[in-house]
Each structure stands twice: as C-alpha cells, then as structure tokens.
Amino acid sequence: MNSLVTIQSKRITLRSLKIEDYLQIFEYSKNLNVTKFLNWDYHKNTEETIDYLNRIISLYKYFPTSNLAILLNESETESEKIIGTIGLLPKNPKLPNQYELGFVLGENWWGKGYAYEAANTLISFTNKNFKIEKILAYCATQNIFSFRLLEKLGMKREGIIKKHILKNGDFLDSYLYSLQNIK
C-alpha cells in the first residue's frame, strides 16, 4: 500500500498530513478548549506544530493511517480547509490487528457530525486494507463529547484508567473503549 492516503466521504476528505499544513494545524492546536482533555499540550508556537508534523510524517511509511488531516469537501466550505486530524495506529506489534483510534477537531467544527463521519470512514478504510480485529480508544472521563462519539460508533466502555493523562500538573482519569467484530 502507498504510504500516502486520501479517502473521501460525503462531506470530508481524509488525507496524509504535509509540512505545509502547519498553519492550519496550529490554528486549532493552540486552542486551550481543544486540547483541554488531550494527552498533549496546546501548541505555543508554529515550531511545535512543525515538530509534531515531522514526527507524524515519519510514521507514514510504517503506519499510513496513523494521523490524517480531516478536510471539508468543497461543497461544505473552501477547499483544503483542515478542521482536525484522526488516526488509527496499531496498538502493539505483537497484536497487529488491534488499533488505537485518536482524533481532534477544531472548536468551530464540534457538534456537526464531522468527527463521526471521519471515524466511520477511517475505520472502514483501515479494516478493508488491514483487517482490524479490535479498536481501542481512550478519553478523559470529563470529555463528554468524545465518549458520546465513541459510543455512537458502537464502542463499549471497558473501564476507567486512573491517573492516565497528566494535564497542567494534575492527573485525569480516562475511559477505555473498545470495538470488536469490525464490519
């Protein structure tokens, strides 16, 4: 499989990230509301965003779906508008068909169904190409929007991981979700 990915759905396109995307990624990555419950801190400058993109791009030859840009299709807004990222990454080399789902969406795009559409599109594509047996996802217990999305995707809450995310010197608990028997 080519290490660069482009997947289209009705309202969005998922594609491999490029260094040139740094300003659009920085735009939502600097927002404290967006990063409040994530396991990474907000980006303080564009250099942090460029470093992040370099790390992601280096993974593509091994894991082409590790982190993809979510772009609105032209019918939704101007073309090439990145509203977030989403990825499915193998969780453990010893369990190659077990993947972890992660996503982030700019605040202006919350509650419009884009994350759900992106997740469904990516899960379907990845399962078709890599045969997923299980998907795992984690989210802070306070992140209501994320755990509702995971449940809407059919994922089941497996439990709570205490002190899983370190944020501003405080630990946050996370829910662990899983989806098995992927169709």
pLDDT of residue 76: 55
Distance CA(17)–CA(54), nearest Å, equals 9
Residues 6+ apart with CB under 8 A from 1: 64, 129
**Tokens encoding 102:** 């992660």
Lowest mean pLDDT among 1-15, 112-126, 132-146, 155-169: 1-15
In the chain, the domains with their CATH numbers are 6-135 (3.40.630.30)
For tokens 């497996």, the residue is 158
Return the higher-pLDDT residue of 67 and 131.
67
Inter-helix orientation angle 114-130/144-152, to 10°: 50
Residue 114 has pLDDT above 90, yes or no: yes
pLDDT at 77: 58
The pLDDT, as a whole number, for residue 37 is 87
| Proportion of the chain above pLDDT 90, given as a percent | 68
What is the distance between the alpha carbons of residues 114 and 127, in angstroms, rounded to a whole number? Answer: 20
Tokens 């630990």 — which residue? 171
3-state DSSP assignment of residue 9: coil
Q: Output the six-digit token pair for 74.
A: 């032209």
Q: How far apart are CA 66 and CA 73, in angstroms?
A: 21
Classify residue 66 by burial, with Cβ atoms within 10 Å: 0-12, 13-18, 19+.
buried
pTM: 0.90
